[in-house]
A = this chain, B = another copy of it.
């Protein structure tokens, strides 16, 4: 990798504070409710320790975060992956952190023998769409768009 190019690394227990800070800031920026940063960081590290969740960090702050959840596929004997969160703080955007996080996430998915990966995103987030499409994702089945439907309980 060229000197200065962004790289991503797997988060572990010592990263709890950074993970909590970034995920809290993510939801705050988009006016979504979020628990306290400390709570989120501790929860994330519990999930990492349990084995079916990985968190990737990028940038010196760190300034970018990606959360991926794994589950066994019902259609194959591999796993499928769900990229649950992807966020780069505004002041660190357009430096390749999103690409570094996505490249590292896809590498981890392949190492874990996943055969499918998916995520949800808003219609208007053109930067994210470009990133996902550059990494081979599509929001269509044939000619049709694919929607996320969701609700709280």
Q: Across the interface, do A139 and B146 meet the contact criterion of CB distance under 8 Å?
A: no
- Chain B residues in 8 Å Cβ range of A84: 74
Q: A67-B74, A72-B47, A148-B148 are in contact. Are A141 and B153 (CB under 8 A)?
A: no
- Chain B residues in 8 Å Cβ range of A53: 74
**Chain A: residues with CB nearer than 8 A to chain B?**
23, 27, 34-35, 40, 43-44, 47, 50, 52-53, 67, 69, 71-72, 74-77, 82, 84-85, 106, 109-110, 114-124, 129, 132-133, 135-139, 141, 144-153
Q: Across the interface, do B144 and A122 meet the contact criterion of CB distance under 8 Å?
A: yes
Q: A43-B77, A53-B74, A146-B148 are in contact. Are A153 and B122 (CB under 8 A)?
A: no
- Chain B residues in 8 Å Cβ range of A137: 149-151
- Chain B residues in 8 Å Cβ range of A132: 149
Query: In the assembled complex, how far is the CB of residue A54 from the closest CB belonging to chain B, in whole angstroms?
Result: 12
Q: Across the interface, do A149 and B153 meet the contact criterion of CB distance under 8 Å?
A: no
**Please, how many angstroms separate the alpha-carbon atoms of A82 and B83 in the complex?**
13
**Please, how many angstroms separate the alpha-carbon atoms of A137 and B151 in the complex?**
5
